[in-house]
């Protein structure tokens, strides 16, 4: 019997998921072709076949990580009725307030930081940020906010900073504090 054909795209994704797991558990420093091969139970040559360079591997994992953040945001906005409700739902869905969201954000933060020294990752981070900014700005316009462009940047910046606070010091900034801050923000921005 001939061997089943290999689904290369699925294998590439599986390896990228392994990278995401390593980043979540140990940080981006822990990622190497060797570590990914060991964890995925494949040879170093197999990893190199799918990702010729470490950068290629990280980029694929970054796409997965950012898509996970985007998917949470979109799902949260789906059943809302007003721009305010949609914004609130998106922000609360992204904030790391449980194990699953913390995992997603930890990985996202790792890639954002690595992007400061990796032009290809920075390019992708800028593109994804720009999409998020456009979506938030659109909602702010719909809701009648003043200065929608600046307030969209401010909203994303606040969200990013709250993520870092929640991950690093949940005693000083509890999920309830973060939710109250989001409500303060929305009351200030939206009429």
The contact set with a second copy (CB under 8 A) reads: 25-29, 106, 109-110, 112-118, 122, 125-126, 129-130, 133, 147, 150-151, 153-154, 156-162, 164-165, 167-169, 172-173, 177, 180-181, 184-185, 188
**Which tokens go with 56?**
């290629």
Rounded to an integer, what is the distance from CA 17 to the centroid of its chain? 14
Min dist CB 146 to a second copy, Å, is 9
Q: At what angle do helices 99-115 and 54-77 cross, to 10 degrees?
A: 130
Min dist CB 17 to a second copy, Å, is 19
Q: Which is nearer to a second copy, 52 or 161 (CB)?
A: 161
List, in order, residues 6 or more apart from 90 with CB less than 8 Å away: 73, 76, 77, 135, 136
List, in order, residues 6 or more apart from 123 with CB less than 8 Å away: none
Min dist CB 10 to a second copy, Å, is 29
Q: Which is nearer to a second copy, 43 or 130 (CB)?
A: 130
Min dist CB 114 to a second copy, Å, is 6
The pairs formed by 144-148 with CB atoms below 8 angstroms and a separation of 24 or more are: 144/190, 144/191, 145/189, 145/190, 145/191, 146/189
Min dist CB 40 to a second copy, Å, is 20
Q: Which is nearer to a second copy, 29 or 100 (CB)?
A: 29
Q: Which is nearer to a second copy, 44 or 157 (CB)?
A: 157
CA distance 48 to 51: 5
Q: Which is nearer to a second copy, 42 or 181 (CB)?
A: 181
């Amino acid at each position: 019997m001939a061997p089943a054909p290999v689904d290369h795209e699925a294998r590439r994704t599986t390896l990228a998921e392994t990278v995401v797991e390593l980043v979540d558990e140990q940080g981006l420093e822990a990622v190497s072709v060797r570590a990914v091969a060991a964890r995925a139970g494949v040879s170093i040559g197999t990893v190199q076949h799918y990702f010729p360079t470490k950068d290629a591997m990280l980029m694929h994992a970054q796409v997965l990580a950012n898509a996970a953040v985007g998917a949470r945001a979109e799902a949260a906005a789906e059943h809302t009725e007003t721009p305010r409700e949609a914004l609130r739902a998106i922000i609360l869905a992204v904030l790391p307030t449980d194990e699953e969201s913390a995992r997603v954000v930890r990985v996202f933060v790792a890639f954002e930081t690595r992007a400061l020294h990796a032009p290809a990752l920075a390019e992708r981070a800028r593109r994804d940020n720009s999409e998020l900014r456009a979506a938030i700005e659109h909602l702010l316009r719909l809701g009648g906010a003043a200065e929608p462009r600046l307030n969209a940047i401010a909203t994303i910046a606040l969200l990013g900073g709250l993520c870092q606070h929640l991950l690093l010091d949940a005693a000083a900034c509890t999920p309830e504090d973060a939710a109250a801050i989001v409500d303060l923000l929305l009351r200030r921005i939206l009429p």
